[in-house]
């Protein structure tokens, strides 16, 4: 039984990472498009722009995780504003280490070239495990009757 649980957990984590990868693509695309459209060079803009990619990715990830990654737990549960709010809160909590890493890299290596994109990437990676644990145990919990 323990081995089945471990295998299931690994499969879920792999799915979660795939969804996260899709979210990463969305996040980076929105970030890069806005950075280039706004010709962002100021520290203020470089700290605000990632929020737009983040919100787009969180919304997309919630829906895909609900139906695919944690589909076994959510078969009889419709996506809800409450679950989305909890998912968003878990993701917001993970945003803290993301921004710490992002700002550390920006301040250490400057804002020229690909450093903002690299800093954004490393920040996203820093939050992945935290998001999985929060999603699995706080958001997509199978309701026992």
Q: Residues 36-69: pLDDT tens digits?
A: 999 878 888 888 998 899 899 999 999 999 999 9
The total domain count for the chain is 1
Looking at residue 42, what DSSP letter applies? S
Indicate whether this model's pTM tops 0.75: no
Residues of the chain with pLDDT under 50: none
For the chain, the first-to-last Cα distance in angstroms comes to: 22
| Domain assignment present for 145 | no
Q: What is the reported pLDDT for 5?
A: 61
| Domain assignment present for 132 | yes
Question: Please, are residues 136 and 12 in contact by the beta-carbon 8 Å criterion?
Answer: yes
Where in the sequence is the domain holding 80, given as residue range(s)?
2-139
| Domain assignment present for 51 | yes
| Domain assignment present for 76 | yes
| Domain assignment present for 144 | no
| Domain assignment present for 129 | yes
Q: What is the reported pLDDT for 38?
A: 92
């Amino acid at each position: 039984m323990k081995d089945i649980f471990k295998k299931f957990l690994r499969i879920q984590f792999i799915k979660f990472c795939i969804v996260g990868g899709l979210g990463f693509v969305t996040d980076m695309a929105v970030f890069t498009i806005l950075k280039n459209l706004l010709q962002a060079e100021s520290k203020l803009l470089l700290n605000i722009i990632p929020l737009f990619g983040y919100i787009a990715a969180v919304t997309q990830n919630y829906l895909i995780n609900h139906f695919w990654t944690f589909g076994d737990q959510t078969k009889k549960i419709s996506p809800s504003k409450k679950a989305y709010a909890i998912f968003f809160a878990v993701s917001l909590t993970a945003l803290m280490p993301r921004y710490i890493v992002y700002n550390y890299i920006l301040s250490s290596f400057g804002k020229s070239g690909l450093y903002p994109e690299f800093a954004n990437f490393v920040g996203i990676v820093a939050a992945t495990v935290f998001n999985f644990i929060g999603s699995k145990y706080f958001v997509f919990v199978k309701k026992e009757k």
